[in-house]
Chains A and B, each alone.
Chain A
Amino acid sequence: MNSVVLSQTVVSGLLLGGVYALVAVGLTLIFGVMKILNFAHGDFLMLGMYFAFLLSIMFGIDPYISAVLALPLFFGLGWIVQSCLIRPVLRAPENIQILLTVGLSLFLQNLALFLFSPDFQSLRVSYGGNTVSIMGVSISYVRFIASMIAVAASLTLYLFLARTDLGKALRACAEEHLGSLAVGINVDRMYNIAFGLGIACVALAGILMTPFFYISPQVGLPFTLTAFVVAVLGGLGSLPGALIGGLIIGLIESLGELFLLAPSMKQMATFSVFLLILLLRPRGLFGGKLT
């Protein structure tokens, strides 16, 4: 096994892992604050991708600019979804909560299918193929930028939660629902914010991937599943867990592709890890707290 091939594999795993981390951060934030598992998470990623795609082909807007535009938009979308659809079922049995987000996922996937057709689209940027070579390892610009921004966004969110007052309020809701109500925190608004932030994160992750990933209505489901694996691995409700978990899963997938008999078996490795965590250490690496 050539060391260059190995380093190349490790690097590409870490890069992809950074993006996985951002996807999972959104999911884990929502779960941490509201205790809801958002089965439609990956579909918001898909919507983010189509948003960037449409802006690109209609107005020629660069995806990184679309990303900035997308943040407030998708935050707002998350806010609305939470108010209209999620809030009514927060008191309902868990199964109903799951089913609601499953229904949302089904709707969003097929809405995209209806509006955009199942054809794979790709967003072409002029710098899409550029790479930089460091010690024999070739790193693609766009994957590198995606990963860096993703990690930066996750860290920013972490600092927000740890240092600001609003962040503290969110953490309070996550840890102690009744207590937060008692001290006058507008828990309802916290939920809206948490969901909005979660959706904004995952849409951003999707847009960051558009320069190198194909776009299709069904692209969300594999990411939803990966987000679950990462979030559970890191510990549901823990942001640092999602970040570390993302990198780990990215590595497992990449190394799996290299070492397993067929590249396509890397998914089996991921799901096996997932099951082991669920069964043996469901609280994951970092246990339950947001920060």
Chain B
Amino acid sequence: MFKNFFAGVSALLVAGILGSFANGGAVAADDVKVGILLPLSGPIAPIGQNNRRGHALAIEEVNAAGGIKSMGGAKLIMIDGDTQGKPEVGIQEAEKLAAQGVSAILGAYQSNVTFPTTQIAEKAGVPYIDPVAIADTITEGRNFKYTFKVAPKASWYARDQLNFIKWVGEKSGKPIKKIVLMYEDTLFGQSTSKGQEASAKELGIEVLEKIAYPAQTPDMTPTISKVKQLAPDALVLVSYIADAVLITKTMKELGVDVPIIGTSAGHIDPAYIANLGPLAEDSFTVGEWNPDLKKPGAAQIAERFQAKFGVPMNGHAAETYMATMVLVDALERAGSADRDKLRDALSKTSICGERNILPYDCIKFDPSGQSPQGQLTMLQVQGGKFVSIWPSEIAAAKPIFPVPGWSKR
């Protein structure tokens, strides 16, 4: 009796476990599998989906033009890994992608997901290209051979942003002397704010207060009233989309007439304008790129993007597009999807001038995996769209500063 029962249960268990795997799935052997690690669902899903578009456009164009020529026209297959915006899920998805045999992983938008998942890729020997995540610690001090960071460093964001703040204040005759710094408390916010504090000090701008807030907080009224009381010349923010929208709304509710200067992420997302409507006007943000930049090729790609997806292309999509092109370029030079050969080809990347739509000359990688030339632009929401306003040499428009009060918007 007992032995029957136990044998039965054991058999059932084993059958159940193995059965849960009985599902075939094959991909053509010649195609190159590319793993895309992004927050496709969850609190920052809109940004993740937008990032994905850059990859999708690049892959579609490359496949339509005949695939990877040096590999006999091999096509690129995109395999999604949805991180849901959480590092622990990202780790599992990265492992899954590695186990599925991708030649490279591109991701993961968020610094705090990119940081651990690059280690997973390093351990598995899979080249990992980081298009957007900016934290300095992703490449600093790690000695990783498989990480390739196209995104500029967080400290450079801070540097360029504070430079702009000083410049726009002086140029308009209303110098910005005191700022309040508010940032979300994950790796993105923490590392960027460090750089911002340091750059502000260098430029002689006083940081009245540094406020860390929990991402996705539902109510920020007390904090924003504190900002109102501090009355800075500008509010510098490091936020993802939900908080960026909430903060702007709360500022309107409380009548806080302080210019908003965001640091990409939430502030550069099309959903920021879509969600806020007229309230988004005159917000500033650091931008990785903008369709109206005076850089050859930028406008054409933006048009194709708009035609395919029905939304304007923003800096993130431009970065993910170029990062995919970096991969394609390396595949062509390596002539193989083998991970190690690909890694070696990636380390010798040099995409310059007209082939690079990002606002600097060349995409290369230094020994730590970082792309050394990185220039950020500043954008402002004017007339319901993001326009580039700095650096003046490549910007399309002039900044509106000082910023009109809430009652006028």
Contact = CB atoms under 8 A, between A and B. Distances in A.
- When A and B assemble into the complex, do they touch directly, with CB atoms less than 8 Å apart? yes
A119 B225 contact: no
B226 A262 contact: no
Contacts of A140: 253
Contact of B211 (A118, A120, A129, A263): A263
A224 interface: no
Contacts, number: 75
A214 B242 contact: yes
A213 B216 CA distance: 11
A268 to B, nearest CB: 12
B136 to A, nearest CB: 23
A120 B47 CA distance: 12
B299 interface: no
A216 interface: yes
A133 B252 CA distance: 12
Contact of A119 (B45, B211, B216, B229): B45
7 contacts: A118-B42, A120-B42, A122-B275, A216-B43, A258-B223, A263-B214, A264-B185
B229 A263 contact: no
A192 interface: no
Tell which of B214, B225, B249 has the most Cβ of chain A within 10 Å: B225
B188 to A, nearest CB: 16
Contacts of A258: 222-223, 226
A167 to B, nearest CB: 34
Interface in A178-218: 213-214, 216
A121 to B, nearest CB: 10
B213 interface: yes
Given A4-B225, A5-B226, A254-B222, A129 B41 contact: no
Interface in A1-54: 2, 4-5, 8-9, 12, 16
B254 interface: yes
Nearest to A122: B275
Listed from nearest, the 10 A-B pairs whose CB atoms lie closest are: A264-B214, A12-B221, A258-B222, A8-B225, A257-B222, A9-B222, A5-B225, A118-B42, A2-B229, A119-B45
B223 A263 contact: yes
A200 B270 CA distance: 38
Q: Is the interface of A mostly helix, strand, loop or mixed?
A: mixed
Contacts of A138: 253-255
Interface in B198-222: 211-214, 216-222
A210 to B, nearest CB: 12
Interface string A84-110: 000000000000000000000000000
Contacts of A254: 221-222
B279 interface: yes
B84 interface: yes
Interface of A: 2, 4-5, 8-9, 12, 16, 117-120, 122, 129, 131, 133, 138, 140, 213-214, 216, 254, 257-258, 262-264
Given A216-B43, A263-B223, A118 B84 contact: yes
Q: How extensive is the interface on chain B, given as a class?
A: 20 to 34
B166 interface: no
Contacts of B219: 12, 16
A263 B252 CA distance: 20
B217 A264 contact: yes
A133 B255 contact: yes
Given A118-B42, A257-B222, A258-B223, 15 more contacts: A5-B228, A8-B221, A8-B225, A12-B219, A16-B219, A118-B43, A118-B84, A119-B42, A213-B218, A216-B43, A254-B221, A257-B223, A263-B211, A263-B212, A263-B217
A161 B42 CA distance: 42
A9 B229 contact: no
A262 B213 CA distance: 7
Contacts of B43: 118-120, 216
B42 A5 contact: no
Contacts of B221: 8-9, 12, 254
Nearest to B249: A129
Nearest to A213: B218
Contact of B252 (A4, A122, A129, A214): A129
A147 to B, nearest CB: 13
Nearest to B256: A138
Given A129-B249, A263-B211, A264-B185, A9 B45 contact: no
Nearest to A209: B218
A253 B275 CA distance: 28
B75 to A, nearest CB: 30
B42 A9 contact: no
B244 to A, nearest CB: 13
A196 to B, nearest CB: 28
A118 B41 contact: yes
Contacts of B45: 117-120
Nearest to B250: A140
Nearest to B214: A264
Nearest to B212: A262
Nearest to A141: B253
Interface string B217-253: 1111111011011000000000000100000010011
Contacts of A133: 255
A2 to B, nearest CB: 5
B254 A263 contact: no
Contacts of A257: 222-223
